[in-house]
Amino acid sequence: MRVVLLGPPGAGKGTQAQIIAGKLGVPAISTGDIFRANVSGQTELGRKAKVYMDAGDLVPDEITVAMVKGRLAEADATGGFLLDGFPRTIAQAEQLRSSLQDLGHGLDRVLELVVDEDELVRRLSGRRMLVDGQMVQRDDDKPETVRHRLKVYREQTAPLSGFYEGEGLLAPIDAIGSVEEVTSRAMRALGVHGDGEAGQPAAV
Ligand code: AMP
């Protein structure tokens, strides 16, 4: 299956991506994680991306699209994938569509995790991650940057709902509830039964 997971920062994309991809038996590909790994590894890509990430802005499309194309060409992604955090602009979505078309493929489903903005701000300001054995706040989870990231999401990424609705691929998922509840809503929208076997996707 080829699936995109959409949703604002703080909607639980990273957590759900890992679980859903595991159930589908496809790699979870997170552009944010790839950028962060490049920043820690002090690569050229990381150096370029960091400036935008620290400001809560999107890394330019040409850098991001080239990176994703390279990742999708790796052997483990040829049979399917779950994209977490990509696409984030209409231009990225168009590029993804045309690179998949070139390979004779298309997306099967776009899951959109839906959470209201007050809840997102609450979740993001309390979020911590484990780095070298210590729980730390991501630089871009600081309150000022969070507000800016949500604005960037509204302006540049939210229009993707309409784009994918027009393609008949969008499945909005209520992302308020326990991790398990949200996963099972997502699996239902993918038409996948508890044993991981694919059936007909639920109507959208
Ligand atoms: P995330 O972990 O998905 O919240 O991503 C963290 C940061 O990485 C974002 O705030 C952006 O600066 C950058 N980033 C991740 N994915 C993309 C993308 N598809 N396009 C542009 N920038 C991205």
Domain ranges in the chain? Answer: 2-115+170-189
Ligand 1 atom with least separation from CA of 140: 10
pLDDT at 118: 84
pLDDT at 194: 60
CB atoms near residue 43 (< 10 Å): 12
The DSSP code for 12 is S
Does residue 123 carry a pLDDT above 60?
A: yes
For the stretch 59-118, pLDDT in tens is: 999 999 999 999 999 999 999 999 999 999 999 999 999 999 988 899 999 999 999 888
**Annotated catalytic, 138?**
yes
Would you tell me the crossing angle of helices 61-72 and 90-102 to the nearest 10 degrees?
30
Mean pLDDT of 42-48: 94
Backbone CA torsion sign across 53, 152, 19, 75: negative
Q: Does domain 2-115+170-189 have CATH number 3.50.50.60?
A: no
For the stretch 10-42, pLDDT in tens is: 899 999 999 999 999 999 999 999 999 999 999
Decide: 85 in ligand 1 pocket, CB within 6 A.
Answer: yes
What phi, psi does 52 have (nearest 5°)? -75, -45
Please tell me the distance from the alpha carbon of residue 139 to that of residue 90, in angstroms, as a whole number: 26
| First-to-last C-alpha distance (Å) of the chain | 17
The model's pTM:
0.89
pLDDT at 145: 85
Q: How confident is the model at residue 198 (pLDDT cuts 50, 70, 90)?
A: low
**Residue 89 and residue 152 in contact, taking contact as beta carbons nearer than 8 Å:** no
Using a 10 angstrom Cβ sphere, with 0-12 exposed, 13-18 middle and 19 or more buried, the burial of residue 174 is: exposed
Q: How confident is the model at residue 199 (pLDDT cuts 50, 70, 90)?
A: low
Which of 138, 142, 147, 188 is the catalytic position? 138
Prior bond of 60 cis (ω within 30°):
no
How confident is the prediction for the chain on average, in pLDDT?
Answer: 91
Strand partners for 2: 81
Nearest CA to ligand 1 atom 14: 32
